[in-house]
């Protein structure tokens, strides 16, 4: 299939309503019928809900660490010889990243072929009640279709937003479910309290299906326990990373202190999955009068746990990219807690960076390091508390950009978001910059139109200062 088929697929996809529109609808109280719509269109593709059980699904919700946890899970299971399907969001470079087989995004050819087949059938079966699904909903349906066609041994499904009404929650009998760390995010949709957020995330719990979570704030944990008890789902809390006897010997493939908890959850999700699928062990589904149990740390040398964790690759999460005199430290912190973790990781990396200098000047001092902060905040998130946690006075320059890759929006670009106008994007960027100036007036700041302009500004700045430039 030629390039134009893929280009047309991206154009068609971009014309579908996206999560941004879904969030706006939710803010005005419009109820989602995404589960009914997903069921309708799956049936149009010849897929019954029972067919999804063949995918041996691991379903993961949460506020922070969903993608990282799923990436750890996928890596471990693939190294155990299983053919994996992995559905995640959002994407960084190409939308194909959202649907992976054996850890790799499906090819442009395969994406285009499956996309047009699914699109044409859905278009022919839309009704007044069930209009064409939106961007995320469509990709979810397509992912199920692809995973069934590819005959994967396991499908790792990351929830998009929330859990209870998320279209991935059409799954009725996953093998195991998981909830990562909970925090405040998408509050207009999920609620303004941790109780409401936890109840929504716990909407993926299913009767008789083991549900795993990390240690949560008391309010959130209580809500998870109550929901698990209501649906008769056995709930388990995973141990801290330090409890694993050989954890200190493992370098996780994803950096950052927060990844240790994600790694523990991933190990336990895989362990339960193997117990239920490979060994046909029912020990995790026995009824208990207790609201939840605690899982024991296991030896990571078995079942390729250690190797899978160390070989995990998840771009854009505590990732370091070096380009000449410039070092980029990439992370997608989107909550206050995440920003704290990001700042801590950045500080640790600066210490390691300076310890490698061999060009100490004659007076024994290290060369001046310049720090650049790059920021954008999308959706309904409040940028002020995030910026306040950035340790802004540690930076020499702050650059505020939009999410546009290039200044010109193209309908067939993987990065185009047609649900938000350029003027609105610019307003968000300007507001972010204004708040920064209120918080950290001494620090110089710039506003740019797009990510490409941002990179050009960083390169120019590094040439001007003629010293190592660290970009967060």
Does the annotation place 74 within a ligand binding site?
no
> Is the bond into 90 cis (omega within 30 degrees of 0)?
yes
68 labelled ligand-binding:
no
β-sheet bridge partners, residue 375: 400
* Concatenated DSSP letters of 298-359: --TTGGGHHHHHHT---TTSSEEEEETTEEEEE----SHHHHHHHHHHHHHHHHHHHHT---
User: Is 158 assigned to a binding site?
Assistant: yes
264 close to 239: Cβ distance less than 8 angstroms: yes
- Consult the annotation and say whether 218 binds a ligand: no
Other CB atoms within 10 A of residue 169 CB? 24
- Tell me the C-alpha to C-alpha distance, in Å, between residue 410 and each of 7, 19, 414, 422: 11, 19, 9, 12
Two tokens at 224? 């998870």
78 is in an annotated binding site: no
Q: Please report, for residues 294, 329, 468, the alpha-carbon distance to residue 370 in angstroms, rounded to integers and kept in the order given.
A: 46, 13, 6
SS3 at position 422: helix
What SS3 state is found at 379? coil
CA atoms lying within 13 Å on the CB side of residue 219: 9
User: Residue ranges for the binding site for Mg(2+)?
Assistant: 89, 158, 186
User: Residue ranges for the binding site?
Assistant: 89, 158, 186, 317, 331
């Amino acid at each position: 299939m030629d390039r134009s088929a893929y280009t047309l697929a991206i154009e068609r996809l971009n014309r579908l309503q996206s999560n941004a529109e879904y969030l706006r609808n939710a803010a005005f109280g419009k109820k989602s019928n995404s589960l009914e719509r997903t069921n309708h269109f799956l049936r149009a593709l010849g897929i019954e809900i029972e067919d999804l059980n063949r995918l041996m699904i691991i379903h993961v919700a949460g506020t922070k660490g969903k993608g990282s946890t799923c990436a750890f899970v996928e890596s471990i299971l693939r190294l155990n010889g299983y053919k994996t399907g992995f559905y995640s969001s959002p994407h960084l470079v190409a939308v194909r990243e959202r649907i992976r087989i054996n850890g790799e995004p499906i090819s442009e050819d395969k994406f285009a072929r499956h996309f047009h087949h699914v699109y044409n059938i859905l278009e022919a079966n839309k009704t007044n009640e069930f209009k064409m699904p939106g961007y995320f909903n469509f990709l979810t349906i397509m992912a199920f279709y692809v995973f069934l066609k590819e005959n994967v041994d396991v499908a790792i499904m990351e929830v998009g937003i929330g859990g209870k009404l998320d279209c991935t929650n059409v799954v009725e009998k996953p093998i195991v479910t998981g909830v990562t760390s909970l925090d405040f995010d998408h509050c207009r949709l999920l609620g303004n309290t941790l109780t409401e957020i936890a109840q929504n995330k716990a909407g993926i719990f299913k009767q008789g299906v083991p549900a795993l979570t990390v240690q949560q704030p008391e309010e959130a944990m209580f809500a998870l326990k109550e929901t698990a008890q209501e649906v008769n789902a056995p709930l388990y809390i995973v141990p801290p990373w330090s409890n694993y006897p050989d954890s200190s010997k493992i370098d996780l493939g994803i950096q950052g202190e927060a990844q240790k908890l994600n790694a523990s959850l991933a190990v336990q999700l895989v362990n339960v999955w193997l117990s239920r699928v490979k060994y046909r062990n029912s020990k995790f589904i026995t009824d208990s009068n207790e609201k939840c149990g605690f899982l024991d740390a296991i030896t990571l040398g078995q079942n390729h746990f250690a190797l899978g964790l160390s070989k995990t690759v998840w771009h854009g999460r505590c990732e370091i990219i070096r380009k000449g005199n410039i070092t980029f430290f990439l992370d997608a912190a989107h909550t206050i807690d995440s920003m704290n973790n990001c700042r801590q990781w950045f500080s640790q990396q600066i210490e390691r960076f300076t310890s490698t200098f061999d060009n100490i000047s004659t007076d024994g001092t290290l060369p001046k390091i310049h720090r650049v902060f790059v920021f954008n905040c999308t959706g309904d998130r409040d940028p002020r508390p995030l910026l306040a946690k950035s340790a802004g006075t540690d930076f020499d320059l702050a650059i505020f950009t939009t999410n546009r890759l290039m200044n010109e929006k193209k309908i067939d670009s993987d990065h185009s978001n047609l649900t938000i106008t350029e003027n609105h994007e610019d307003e968000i960027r300007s507001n972010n910059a204004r708040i920064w100036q209120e918080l950290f007036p001494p620090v110089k700041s710039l506003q740019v139109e797009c990510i490409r302009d941002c990179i050009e500004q960083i390169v120019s700045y590094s040439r001007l200062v003629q010293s190592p430039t660290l970009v967060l």
